[in-house]
Amino acid sequence: IMSLYQGHKAIKVPKNTTTWDIDPYSKEVLLDPERFFSALREKGPFVYLNKYKMLACGRYKETKEVFSDHKRFVSSRGVGIQDFKLEKPWRPPSLVLEVDPPEHTRNRRFLTQALSPNKIATLKVFFKNCADKLIKELLQKKEIDGISDLAEIFPTKVFPEAVGLKKIDKETLLGYGAMVFNALGPDNEFRKDAMAKGLSVLEKINKQCLEENIDAKGLAKEIYRNTADISEEDNLAGMLVRSLLSAGIDTTVSAIGNLLWCFSKNPEQFRLLKNDKSLIGNAVEESLRLTSPVKAFCRTSAVETEVSGIVMEEGTKILCVLGSANTDPEFWNNPYKYDVTRRTIGHLALGVGVHNCVGQTLARAEIVALASSLIERVKSIKPIGEAVWKPNNAMRSLERLPIILEA
Ligand code: OVV
């Protein structure tokens, strides 16, 4: 008899696998992720989490291998700890995140088409203008909270406009992001808190995805146009727009907050950038590598299979800790150093394989625009208080980052 545990199949400890009592979804781990990453990698290619009766991996090699093989390690059973084959998910599954090829291939193409190089080029100009305006305003204030005054403000202003939402408030977008990402973890206090604000947020988000509520010039309208022949099918376009709103806000808010954290802690790196602006793109990649805003996603084994000598049964949930793979000393030199000149290619912050971040060109355009404005207009970014991290089951992001921007 198969037993269900924490929303998935309770697997047996595979042979030659270390068992571990740690809770990767606890606040303690979040507050000291680097210690968790190191211990995870040292225990072997996979560890068995006693508390969740599932596996976790954090070495670069295995994390990449699991992510790269969408046939053995499926997304259609959910990328959180819940197995959608065994339990009903909290919302209708995403048509890109929580689906396998061939459906995934078709659906993803509609998003790729909407995010065309031409569209991104136009948006870059818009993002840069908005970033310049915001940084000019913040320089007047001098003392700011890098999160509530900057990281949360920029994406919630430019992204809804890029998508073509007619009206949407910051709180709704951030509230929905918190639900989507915390829902990937166990039903702990963080998931419960996010879900508590739930129903009204869900209603507003679903409404915003409807064709009558989107502007003719945005990405959402493009998705409706490209799916016009078949969009009757299960609200296809609306569901794809929902994916933009699920994946496009919290991720970039966290990435920008984490980038500011990197800058404020490494003034010599910020000065290097000011002297050589051609490094900006790489400085953004390096902040993604080092801080991995999406900490971890799960996969589920569709068959009994083996990786690095570990045999795992069908239905095994694997927590793939991207932040750990991105700081594996077997792959990266001096991995915990923020180094804007580092060769960053191969980092897994935006995933790898068929599910790699479909919005990455848009995300990079946003973050690079903001980084450029900072480097052009700000002399230094100094911490004036303690950086406070915000617990989340799937993201690594800040609650507060008190800084001074000096002109
Ligand atoms: C959390 C997340 C990431 C990527 C995609 C989606 C959600 C989605 O809803 O499609």
What does R_g of the chain's alpha carbons equal in angstroms?
21
| For ligand 1, mutation pick of 91, 110, 243, 295 (most atoms within 8 Å of CB) | 243
Split at pLDDT 50, 70, 90, the class of 295 is very high
| For ligand 1, mutation pick of 75, 76, 96 (most atoms within 8 Å of CB) | 96
Average of per-residue pLDDT across 120-149: 97
Give residue 80 CA to ligand 1 midpoint distance, Å.
11
pLDDT of residue 232: 66
Give residue 243 CA to ligand 1 midpoint distance, Å.
5
Give residue 54 CA to ligand 1 midpoint distance, Å.
22
The pTM (predicted TM-score) of the whole model is 0.97
pLDDT of residue 343: 98
Residue nearest to atom 9 of ligand 1 (CA): 243
Mean pLDDT of the chain: 96
pLDDT of residue 234: 76
Give residue 357 CA to ligand 1 midpoint distance, Å.
9
Nearest atom within ligand 1 for CA of residue 250: 1
Q: E strands, 135-290, where?
A: 143-145
Nearest atom within ligand 1 for CA of residue 394: 1
Lowest-pLDDT choice from 40-49, 119-128, 143-152, 220-229: 220-229
Look at residue 399 and give its three-state secondary structure. strand
pLDDT in tens, 342-384: 999 999 999 999 999 999 999 999 999 999 999 999 999 999 9
Residue nearest to atom 8 of ligand 1 (CA): 243
Residue type at position 204: K
Give residue 134 CA to ligand 1 midpoint distance, Å.
28
Give residue 97 CA to ligand 1 midpoint distance, Å.
5
Tell me the DSSP string of 21-65: ---TTSHHHHHSHHHHHHHHHHT-SSEEETTTTEEEE-SHHHHHH
Quote the tokens at residue 28.
Answer: 């303690």
Q: Inform me whether the pLDDT recorded for 49 exceeds 80.
A: yes
What residues are paired with 400 via a beta bridge?
Answer: 388
pLDDT in tens, 174-210: 999 999 999 999 999 999 999 998 888 999 999 888 8
- Sorted by sequence, the CB contacts under 8 Å of residue 222 that are 6+ apart come out as 113, 114, 119
pLDDT of residue 168: 74
Q: Inform me whether the pLDDT recorded for 163 exceeds 70.
A: yes
Q: Inform me whether the pLDDT recorded for 1 exceeds 70.
A: no
Split at pLDDT 50, 70, 90, the class of 262 is very high
Pocket lining for ligand 1, CB < 6 angstroms: 94, 96-97, 180-181, 243, 246-247
Nearest atom within ligand 1 for CA of residue 177: 1
Nearest atom within ligand 1 for CA of residue 96: 10
Give residue 184 CA to ligand 1 midpoint distance, Å.
10
Quote the tokens at residue 187.
Answer: 């039903």
Token pair 């954290």: residue = 261
Distance in angstroms (rounded) separating the CA atoms of residues 15 and 311: 7
Residue nearest to atom 4 of ligand 1 (CA): 247
> Among residues 327, 261, 251, which one has the least CA distance to residue 293?
251
Do 17 and 46 contact (CB within 8 A), yes or no?
A: yes
> Among residues 405, 105, 381, which one has the least CA distance to residue 268?
381
Token pair 């502007």: residue = 215
Split at pLDDT 50, 70, 90, the class of 230 is confident
pLDDT of residue 233: 73
Distance in angstroms (rounded) separating the CA atoms of residues 376 and 356: 31
pLDDT of residue 166: 82
- Sorted by sequence, the CB contacts under 8 Å of residue 166 that are 6+ apart come out as 208, 213, 214, 215
Let me know how many helices (H) and strands (E) the chain has, helices first.
16, 15
> Among residues 125, 114, 126, which one has the least CA distance to residue 221?
114
Quote the tokens at residue 78.
Answer: 């959910």
Torsion of CA 244, 92, 396, 336, to 10 degrees: -80
Residue nearest to atom 1 of ligand 1 (CA): 247
Nearest atom within ligand 1 for CA of residue 180: 1
Lowest-pLDDT choice from 166-180, 288-302, 318-332: 166-180
Give residue 333 CA to ligand 1 midpoint distance, Å.
31
pLDDT of residue 57: 98
Give residue 122 CA to ligand 1 midpoint distance, Å.
24
Do 149 and 260 contact (CB within 8 A), yes or no?
A: no
pLDDT of residue 199: 83
Split at pLDDT 50, 70, 90, the class of 231 is low
Torsion of CA 159, 165, 167, 173, to 10 degrees: -50
Split at pLDDT 50, 70, 90, the class of 296 is very high
Give residue 290 CA to ligand 1 midpoint distance, Å.
22
Residue nearest to atom 3 of ligand 1 (CA): 247
Quote the tokens at residue 139.
Answer: 């320089």
* Angle, vertex CA 213, rays to CA 212 and CA 219, nearest 5: 100
Nearest atom within ligand 1 for CA of residue 242: 9
Q: How far is CA 62 from the centre of its chain?
A: 20
Lowest-pLDDT choice from 39-48, 213-222, 294-303: 213-222
